[in-house]
Structure 1
Amino acid sequence: MTADGLPRTAAPADPGPPPGLVVVGHFDQPPGYGVSRPRGADSWLFTWTTGGRGELRQGAAHTRAGVGDLVVLAPGVRHDYGVEGAAPHWRFWWAHCQARPSWAAWLGPFEVGEGMYVLPPTPADAHARIEAAFGRMLTAARWTGTGTPPGPAADREQVAVAHGAAARELALCALEEVVLLTAGTARTPSPRPGVDPRVRRAQEMVAADPGAPHTVESLAAGVGLSPSRFAHLFTEQLGRSPMRALREARLHHAARLLESTDLPVERVAAASGFVSPFHFNRVFRERYGLPPGAYRSGGPMVDG
């Protein structure tokens, strides 16, 4: 399906795609274009601007989107978006889908309220790779699941719907690259005032390799503190103990492995730093509301 079959200006209460589908498109819309969904959508909406300016509202949250801005809207909240009033046009990639649970850790720091996530503009040298990832998403969504996936379309202003399981997974893999690139290159919110550099360094050590055999002693040694002083300082400044923070990082890592690999659950547990598969199953279910096997089959996105 191409944009030729769609209205240039969406009518009020334009319905969103039903849950379970992956829909992706690239539009260049003139002034007057707008979409209004009083009940929101059943799926997540991702927009990445490549030209002009857009304006998006989600409940009481509001933002303007310029070149390089990724804006994400969670389902179930009234939203409206369109060309910003003074802009000559709005050129943007967009995708409707069910977000992968592990994306919460990347998007979470950029939530501005009401389920709206606004990431700072991505650096210009990353734009080509993000554009290419969206292009692969469009190509993957057009794949029937048999034969070789089609090549890039000549007409970039298209809409593609991924119906088959293989096409959906390939499309989501491409969108995941967009999420990682935009969140990873963004200037994350400033750390809480007064956070000790040694505490931040310990956080970086855990994030770099959550499956490593970290302990309070090893982390303390890595930042030049005694174990007792390190544990007290970490807990005092971040509101949770080093071991609780480590467990959370390991659970996020395990979630990513479950989504992106076919490793047995026992190996996912070991690769994420959990010695006991039984313990891993219990804490994973406590965190995500599903046992690892059921989570791999597809569950709702949860906040990190």
Structure 2
Amino acid sequence: MISVRVRNGPAVAHYPPGATLGPRVLPCFEFVWMLTGRASWQRTDGDRQRLELRPGQLLLTRPGFAEHFTWDPDRPCTHAYVTFYVDEHGPLGDPETWPLHRTLAADPLPALCGYLLRVGEPRTTQVLAWLLDLFVAGPLPDEADDELPEHVTRLVDHLRAAWHDGPFRPLDLAELAAAAHVSPGHLARLFRERYGRGPVGAVELVRLARAAVLLERSNLSVAAISDACGFVNPFHFSRRFRTAYGVAPRDYRTGHPIEPLEPVRQAGLLPIARRVL
């Protein structure tokens, strides 16, 4: 269980151009996130870490940190903050291992930060505990996506465009390599090193995951699902589905022994599947 106590905030601080704060040493934890403008944060003891803070970043400083802030010299800035004590770390482990900052690229972190500024007690401590848990535990969905290599990101963007409002048709190696801007041989090698299978097989597993969702969450016939997921006929679809899920599509529909995304998760393809599906 994670237990926190608020010391000060949540609140918004407004600064004129060029304002500074510190050096100071906090006796507690503090979350800081920029709302407008930018700031330079520096730890002035220990390893003397330095960060440039802009909207979309969340900073967590710890008790005992000696720190210094310098705000944008050219324009006013605002940031939100909350200082707090952590009485129980629960499953989060040693605070010395906690990350210093994370991006606020996608929910739920930005939603929780915004809610924290509006909610009153006793919900403040609950929301703060959720925010701390997600901040420390990670990775978050948007960070899993960010971990994709550049060539895989380009390939995923191509898949989304190719499958938009149409069947999840199969794509051959040449098309996938062209989308990724690498040679077919290089793409095949990269996929086998990272996912243990080639790009064509990886894409097929994502198509089968969509089929599993439709089997579980719709009344579409097996033939209709086969067509929607780009298989040449229901027989071929059934054979490939059995290989991935261990049962035929009709048996999966009545019993679904594993959840639809489990095969892509085991293959390390979940970040790709989530962006596409």
Using structure 1 for the length normalisation, give the TM-score: 0.37
Computing the radius of gyration from Cα coordinates, the structure with the larger value is 2
Question: Which structure is higher in helix share?
Answer: 2
